[in-house]
């Protein structure tokens, strides 16, 4: 007997009009064909998932903080409310087909692992997980179980991103040898924690801490500054790498680096840094030379000057591609092409990358049997891993390039990096 997803896929392939399925449009959200979804984490970034999935049948809502959840419960009066996702899965796992997880970084893995173990399709916020090994587990589980996945790299759907990718792939600036990527600002190294305040009545602190190191409640962690404590967050690199590094990964078909190094201020064992510079070396593949990718939190890596300064007044964004014929500077919403040959004229390539039907819609379509979502885990996990590997290289003090065996998730040059690439869960949360 066909299940509901298989029945829908068959109807789309054959043109059949089966009961409850109206026509061939993936965008059809008639009541019988809405996906039953559970949302975990509905405040803050989770609000984007609330908006993006509002056309579906939201049956369960889980958040440990009523204040952050705001009025979302009122928007879905028929959805059952939970503070602990484990209880939600125990009681309702047979009532939904898909799960969206939008929690702090340290609690990405566990609800995602449970969801996929129960064969639920998964939308997960970036940076996917808290360490490289967790990313790899989720990626392999999604592939093994043939689940529809989407990582929260929403900028992938922007039309301007497609035009940038087309420009790089067109060969207009020749063979790419270097890429400089950066996020600005100096966030990190927050003030020491104050544990004197009581736990707010609206917050389930035990549920918030989850599998991570237990600390008493502090408003220096919750609701937001957890991002800058290593036990709970991944700093600005984890926060932005899946958005910014995606541009070179997409444009150059990057997979896994063979070497990595990182420098920055003196490492604090508990708090993320205000600045960091990582260098990834990617091997040559058929159709592309080796690429050196520089990631910076703060300003661009100083190595960019020798290329940037050849073009006075050039607009600088979050990525800067260096090729044998010129450079491309870009951000999410624009790109500029500058050629070394001042007499040459750049001709934009024809548009070839189709528009997205909507980032969340891609995932819903995939659940219904359509093409995989563009940021499915086979594509996106390696980008998340790169950012987390950069953090690990910085924390272990890899100022000189160390080799990286991506298959083994090990460095033959630095066994100490394992401490930061493999998870440590407090008692009772072991997988």
Q: What is the pLDDT of residue 44?
A: 84
Q: What's the CA gap between 141 and 146, in Å, rounded?
A: 8
The confidence score (pLDDT) of residue 333 equals: 98
The answer to whether the beta carbons of residues 295 and 237 sit under 8 Å apart is: yes
Residues with Cβ < 8 Å from 119, sequence gap 6 or more?
145, 147
pLDDT at 31: 80
Distance of CA 141 to the CA centre of its chain: 17
Q: What tokens appear for 279 in the block?
A: 């260098």
Q: What is the pLDDT of residue 422?
A: 98
Question: Which residues does 411 contact at the CB level (< 8 Å), separation at least 6?
Answer: 402, 403, 404, 405, 417
Average pLDDT per consecutive 10 residues, the chain (431 residues; last block may be shorter): 40 29 43 94 89 96 94 94 97 98 98 98 98 98 98 98 98 97 97 98 97 97 97 98 98 98 98 98 95 97 96 97 98 98 95 98 98 98 98 98 98 98 96 87
Q: Are 338 and 314 within 8 A, CB to CB?
A: yes
What pLDDT score does 9 carry?
42
Edge-to-edge strands of the sheet including 57-62? 80-82, 57-62, 36-40, 98-101, 121-124, 149-151
Cα angle 234, 249, 388; round to 5: 20
List the 334-339 sheet strands across, edge first.
334-339, 326-331, 319-323, 176-183, 291-297, 276-282, 259-263, 402-403
Q: Which long-range contacts (CB under 8 A, 24 or more apart) does 421-427 make?
A: 421/131, 421/132, 421/133, 421/388, 421/389, 421/392, 422/131, 422/132, 422/133, 423/109, 423/130, 423/131, 423/133, 423/134, 423/211, 425/211, 425/212, 426/211, 426/212, 426/213, 426/214
Q: Is the peptide bond before 151 cis (omega within 30 degrees of 0)?
A: no
| Buried b or exposed e, range 234-250, using 16+ CB within 10 angstroms | bbbbbbbbbbbbbbbbb
Greatest extent of the chain over all pairs of C-alpha atoms, in Å: 68
Please give the domain boundaries of the chain with CATH numbers for all domains: 4-156+359-381 (3.40.50.720), 158-190+236-353+384-421 (3.30.360)
Which structure tokens are listed for 423?
Answer: 């998870």
State which H helix or E strand residue 177 sits in: strand 176-183
252: closest CA among 196, 328, 186?
328
């Amino acid at each position: 007997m066909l299940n509901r997803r298989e029945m829908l896929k068959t109807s789309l392939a054959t043109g059949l009009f089966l009961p409850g399925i109206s026509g061939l449009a993936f965008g059809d959200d008639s009541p019988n064909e809405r996906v039953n979804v559970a949302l975990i984490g509905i405040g803050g970034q989770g609000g984007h998932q609330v908006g993006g999935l509002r056309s579906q049948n939201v049956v369960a809502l889980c958040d440990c903080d009523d204040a952050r959840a705001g009025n979302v419960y009122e928007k879905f009066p028929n959805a059952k409310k939970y503070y602990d996702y484990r209880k939600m899965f125990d009681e309702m796992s047979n009532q939904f087909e898909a799960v969206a997880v939008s929690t702090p970084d340290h609690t990405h893995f566990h609800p995602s692992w449970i969801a996929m173990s129960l064969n639920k399709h998964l939308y997960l916020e970036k940076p996917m997980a808290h360490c490289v090994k967790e990313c790899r587990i989720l990626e392999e589980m999604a592939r093994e179980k043939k689940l529809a996945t989407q990582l929260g790299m929403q900028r992938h759907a922007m039309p301007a991103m497609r035009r940038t990718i087309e420009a790089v792939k067109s060969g207009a600036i020749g063979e790419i040898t270097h890429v400089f990527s950066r996020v600005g600002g100096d966030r990190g190294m927050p003030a020491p924690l104050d544990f004197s305040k009581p736990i707010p009545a609206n917050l389930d602190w035990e549920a918030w801490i989850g599998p991570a190191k237990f600390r008493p409640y502090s408003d220096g962690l919750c609701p937001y500054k957890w991002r800058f404590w290593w036990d709970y967050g991944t700093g600005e690199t984890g926060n932005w790498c899946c958005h910014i590094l995606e541009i070179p990964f997409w444009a150059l078909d990057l997979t896994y680096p063979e070497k990595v190094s990182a420098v920055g201020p003196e490492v604090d064992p508990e708090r993320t840094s205000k600045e960091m510079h990582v260098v990834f070396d990617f091997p040559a593949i058929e159709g592309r030379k080796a690429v050196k990718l520089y990631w910076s939190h703060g300003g661009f890596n100083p190595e960019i000057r020798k290329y940037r300064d050849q073009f006075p007044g050039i607009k600088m964004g979050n990525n800067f591609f260096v090729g044998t014929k010129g450079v491309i500077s870009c951000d999410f919403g624009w790109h500029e092409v500058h050629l070394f040959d001042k007499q040459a004229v750049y001709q934009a390539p024809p548009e070839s990358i189709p528009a997205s039907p909507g980032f969340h819609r891609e995932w819903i379509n995939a659940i219904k049997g359509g093409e995989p979502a563009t940021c499915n885990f086979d594509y996106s996990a390696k980008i998340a891993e790169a950012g987390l590997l950069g953090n690990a290289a910085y924390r272990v003090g890899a100022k000189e390039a160390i080799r990286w065996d991506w298959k083994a998730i090990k460095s033959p040059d630095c066994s100490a990096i394992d401490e930061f690439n493999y998870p440590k869960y407090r008692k009772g949360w072991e997988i």
